Structure 1
Amino acid sequence: MIQLLVHKFIPNYMQTKDAQVRKQYGVLGGVLGILCNSLLFLLKLLAGLAAGSIAVVSDAFNNLSDLGSSVVSVVGAKLSSRRPDSGHPYGHGRAEYVSALIVAFLIILFGLELLKSSAEKIFRPEALSISPMTVGILVLSVLVKLWMWSYNRFMGKTIDSPILLAAARDSLNDVIATSAVIVSTFLSPFVPFSLDGFMGLVVSCLVIWTGYGVARDTIDKLLGRKPEETLRRQLEKRILSNPIVLGMHGLMVHDYGPGRTIASVHAEVPENLTLVEVHSVIDKIEHQILNELNVDIVIHMDPVPVPDAAAKAEHVLDAGQNPGDTKPDML
């Protein structure tokens, strides 16, 4: 089902590094979220008001916050796909991170409101009037949210989108929260306290925790965290695999949004090789990294006095070998 939708609405769905394809993934995920959450909000709100259940009403407004998150994700997808301009030479990819941060704040805000309403319900309990229709709506909600978790997770991992992965995490929390509400509706008549209010507290705390997790991960990316170990090793492997590169230092990686990574590094090369010779090899390494890792890297050449290694590198160049095919000696 999910793959059928992707194939139908995203013509070049395999080109996940392309900005326009990423936008189409984000818009598709956001539109599906808007449709599903709108339906769930209306059904749960009506069911919760009819039953007099704060837990069900809280769950409904949780879906309303998800609806707002889906709108933000669509806007973020469209903004992040815009081409670089004179004012933003590195593109607009971080708009996706900003969108995810807005989503996180919305989740936390609604969680706090639900926390307040649930506390009031505990101190001023009211009798519940649960009908089969209410239970049916809640069960339907669990099934819909499981599907939403599945498609958000699939598309989020496909394009490495923080906002879609955040939506997937939120959908899974909604499954847990709604399941807890279903349990509370059955147990409420058999307990001497407001189980509905306490369950509302649990749901609201879960909502707040989800928002905190999304905000923490997104802020890390906006502030500029260190490169992942896997990426660092991949860069080192491709740079040091060339025999004229004797060492490297000063690696810096900048994240300008999903699919837009810029890096710089100092490569140590023999000092007796000409600038033209070294530049030709360095240029090939930069293109290799861009094509294989989608990292736009700038390699600065640092000449170092290593006579033996320099002679070997000069021999490789004179013989017309591909430097990338020869492994460097262990120095």
Structure 2
Amino acid sequence: MPSETSGSITFNGQRTIPIFRDPKERQRQVRRTLILVLACNLLVALAKLSYGLLTQSLSMTADGLNSLMDAAANIVGLVGVEVAARPPDSSHPYGHRRFETLASLLIAATMVLAVTQILESAWHRIQSGERPDVTPLSFVVMVITLVINLGVSFLERRRAVALHSSILSADAKHTAADALVSTGVIVGLVGVRLGYPWADLVVSIGVAGVIAWGAWTALRDAAQVLADRAVVSAETVEQAARAVPGVVGVHGVRTRGGEGMIWVDLHIQVAPQLRVDEAHEIASQVAQQVEAALGLPADVVVHVEPATAEHLQPQRGYEPWRGRST
């Protein structure tokens, strides 16, 4: 039975995590992770919201709302993953993987909505002067949900690395922020119990700040993917290509990608006297060598040129408006 993984990468410098090279298996793994996280987030949100509203704790209610936004983000992520898994077609020859990145942008949007709601509630609390009712059960609820958040964050972060998924990475950051937020809420509840009712308000505003930062990082990471930021150094690709016998020179290396796939194109120079089939064989070996060096599924396009002075330049020099390249 074929393995669902091929290759591995180092995680935190201590252990290796398998890389899922089968797109279908990768989709199943991402979907399973999101469904599990969705169930946990709904459970946590229900506990925090119900008890927060019952005791009029703004920070606890805000934390519950944040967890509810997490659950909504999970649903958006599931839809995005399903669309992203569709195979390439005539309208999307590069596939639909970017829809997963777009889904991570929607997650950031839900986080912004949560920040807005929390700040509006904080303003209302300032005007009304309401005081929360903190009980021992408040601490029990928060500690249990904190443990759940920490477990979910660890799972998502690990799976995001293994599956190279921006949707899981974005959600892992949001969940990690939840754990920090829950810790702050517990501190705020302690403050209220000690006779400082304003601690609940201060913590709720801090919660909004943490969520806002998580939204910014998710937006930044998604923007880098959508803007085709280079994902691998040109030196890495060039070194792999030059390792193939028959390659005289390499230039014009470009990379982009995300969501478990890298696109690479490069120019190689070979001996001018080679036959077309011989040059093609070298190009095929270069593509295989580059993909192996990257350790991820890669679509490698190799342009073959004769090793003459005209083509052995360090830079490609491309002028698309003139329809000419060197």
TM range (shorter): 0.7 to 0.9
1:300 maps onto 2:269 in alignment: no
Deviation at 1:292, TM superposition (A): 5.3
Which runs of structure 2 are paired with 1:1-331 in the superposition (5 Å)? 12=4, 16-191=20-195, 194-229=198-233, 232-255=234-257, 257-290=258-291, 293=294, 294-305=297-308
Q: Quote the Cα distance in structure 2 between the aligned partners of 1:250 and 1:292.
A: 18
How high is the sequence identity, in percent, across the aligned residues? 26
Query: Is the contact made by 2:265 and 2:302 (CA closer than 8 Å) also made in structure 1?
Result: yes
C-alpha change, 1:227 and 1:291, in structure 2 (3 Å) is: closer
Q: Quote the Cα distance in structure 1 between the aligned partners of 2:255 and 2:213.
A: 30
Deviation at 1:272, TM superposition (A): 2.9
CA RMSD in angstroms comes to: 2.0
**More moved, 147-156 vs 236-245:** 236-245
For these two proteins, the number of residue pairs brought into alignment is 294
The one-letter amino acid of 2:125's match is K
Q: Look at both structures and tell me which one has the larger radius of gyration over its CA atoms.
A: 1
Q: Deviations over 1:33-86 (max 9, x none)?
A: 211111111111111112111111101100110000111121122111111112
Query: Is the contact made by 2:266 and 2:303 (CA closer than 8 Å) also made in structure 1?
Result: yes
3-state secondary structure, aligned to 2:32: helix
Gaps of 5+ in 2: 6-17, 310-326
Higher strand proportion, which one?
Answer: 2
C-alpha change, 1:157 and 1:216, in structure 2 (3 Å) is: same
- Alignment correspondent of 2:316: none
Q: Quote the Cα distance in structure 2 between the aligned partners of 1:98 and 1:216.
A: 12
Query: Is the contact made by 2:134 and 2:192 (CA closer than 8 Å) also made in structure 1?
Result: no
The one-letter amino acid of 1:251's match is V
The one-letter amino acid of 1:175's match is A
3-state secondary structure, aligned to 2:250: strand
Deviation at 1:243, TM superposition (A): 4.0
Length-normalised TM-score, structure 2:
0.84
Length-normalised TM-score, structure 1:
0.83
Query: Is the contact made by 1:145 and 1:171 (CA closer than 8 Å) also made in structure 2?
Result: yes
Q: Quote the Cα distance in structure 2 between the aligned partners of 1:194 and 1:187.
A: 8
Deviation at 1:285, TM superposition (A): 1.8
Query: Is the contact made by 1:262 and 1:295 (CA closer than 8 Å) also made in structure 2?
Result: yes
Q: Quote the Cα distance in structure 1 between the aligned partners of 2:76 and 2:117.
A: 20
Query: Is the contact made by 1:26 and 1:73 (CA closer than 8 Å) also made in structure 2?
Result: no
Gaps of 5+ in 1: 1-10, 307-331
Query: Is the contact made by 1:22 and 1:77 (CA closer than 8 Å) also made in structure 2?
Result: no
The one-letter amino acid of 2:283's match is I
Q: Quote the Cα distance in structure 2 between the aligned partners of 1:95 and 1:258.
A: 10
Q: Deviations over 1:114-173 (max 9, x none)?
A: 122113223332122112222111111100001101110111111111111222211111
Q: Quote the Cα distance in structure 2 between the aligned partners of 1:290 and 1:220.
A: 22
Q: Quote the Cα distance in structure 1 between the aligned partners of 2:127 and 2:198.
A: 8
Deviation at 1:291, TM superposition (A): 5.1
Deviation at 1:233, TM superposition (A): 3.2
The one-letter amino acid of 1:147's match is G
